[in-house]
């Protein structure tokens, strides 16, 4: 059974640009959550999607957005990139909502220069 797949693995962008990250959950999993991980802040919750609906949102500015498609694949978008957006972005999938086991993808390492 394939795990959670995130693409791309690495990304370098310039300040002011926008970026789209993709996440394909484990087959059969309908819940996808996104996290930002930085050395100083640890793992911070961005948002959670279930059945194409955003169920939960963390404390991030509106530049961070996401969506989920009917096949449960999810994308997150960051617009007007700032240097502080440099981080590891992790996607986690679970069968239903997040009180069941969540499995992480390998992450996308975003560097903003």
Partner 1 sequence: QKEVEQNSGPLSVPEGAIASLNCTYSDRGSQSFFWYRQYSGKSPELIMFIYSNGDKEDGRFTAQLNKASQYVSLLIRDSQPSDSATYLCAGETSGSRLTFGEGTQLTVNP
Give the footprint of partner 1 on this chain (CB under 8 A). Answer: 33, 35, 42-43, 45, 48, 55-56, 58, 88, 90, 92, 97-107
Longest dimension (CA), the chain: 38
Torsion sign across C-alpha atoms 4, 99, 37, 32? positive
- Relative to beta strand 31-38, strand 108-112 is unpaired
Cβ-based nearer residue to partner 1, 45 or 73:
45
Instruction: Choose between 18 and 52: whose C-beta lies nearer to partner 1.
Output: 52
Residue 107 CB, nearest approach to partner 1 (Å): 5
Q: How far is CA 100 from CA 17, 38, 66, 96, in A?
A: 36, 25, 22, 7
Q: How far is the CB of 80 from partner 1 (least distance, A)?
A: 25
Nearer to partner 1, 19 or 105 (CB): 105
């Amino acid at each position: 059974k394939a795990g959670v797949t995130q693409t791309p693995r690495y990304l370098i962008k310039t300040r002011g640009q926008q970026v789209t990250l993709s996440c394909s959950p484990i087959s059969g999993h309908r819940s996808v959550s996104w996290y930002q991980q930085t050395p100083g802040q640890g793992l911070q919750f961005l948002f959670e999607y279930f059945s194409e609906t955003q169920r939960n949102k963390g404390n991030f500015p509106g530049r961070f957005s996401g969506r989920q498609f009917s096949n449960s694949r999810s994308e997150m978008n960051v617009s007007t990139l700032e240097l502080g957006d440099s981080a590891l972005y992790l996607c986690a999938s679970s069968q239903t909502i997040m009180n069941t086991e969540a499995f992480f993808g390998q992450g996308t390492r975003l560097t903003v220069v």
